[in-house]
Amino acid sequence: MCSGSIQLPGRKKPLRHLIGMSEELILGNKSANTGRLLLAGSDKQFVWTSVADIYGIPGIPGWADWFEGELNTHHAIAPMLGIGCNPLIVKGEKAHFLEWLSWGVESGAINFPAESGSIRWRGLGLDDIFRRVD
């Protein structure tokens, strides 16, 4: 990818950072009721955190590896083309994800923490989603 700037009419300084999104990405991601979730990053922790948050699914950060495996097993993940990021589509609805989690707990593939209490999720920022261009 080339590094540079874009001069826009009416601006004294050139634009050095640009994030562009398609109309489909913006309009199609307004709710969890569409059966697909469009994410700007493909990091397994980001995907699991996003799915758990958007769909209101109970879980812990340590389940990210397992959840990524389930997405692949069920062919519920599709990469998209991105510049400076690795966007993807997660296909499925809350009921599907809850079924997977139920199976995971029943089979012993994932476990709830031994202690009760709050679960701390690591905050994610733009650096976790977008790649740096040197």
Task: Tell me the pLDDT of the chain (134 aa) as tens digits.
Answer: 445 666 777 778 776 655 566 666 555 555 556 788 888 888 899 899 989 988 999 889 999 999 999 999 999 999 887 767 788 899 999 999 999 999 999 999 998 888 887 777 777 666 666 655 44
Tell me if residue 55 falls in helix, strand or coil.
helix
Alpha-carbon distance of 55 to 95, in angstroms, equals 10
Each domain of the chain, given as residue ranges in start order, spans: 32-109
The helix (H) or strand (E) run that includes residue 129 is: helix 126-129
Other CB atoms closer than 10 Å to residue 30's CB: what's the count? Answer: 8
Q: Specify which residues 79 forms β-bridges with.
A: 88
Strands (E) located in the chain: 36-39, 77-79, 88-91
Burial of 49 (0-12, 13-18, 19+ CB in 10 A): buried
The answer to whether the beta carbons of residues 84 and 102 sit under 8 Å apart is no
The secondary structure of residue 41, as a DSSP letter, is: -
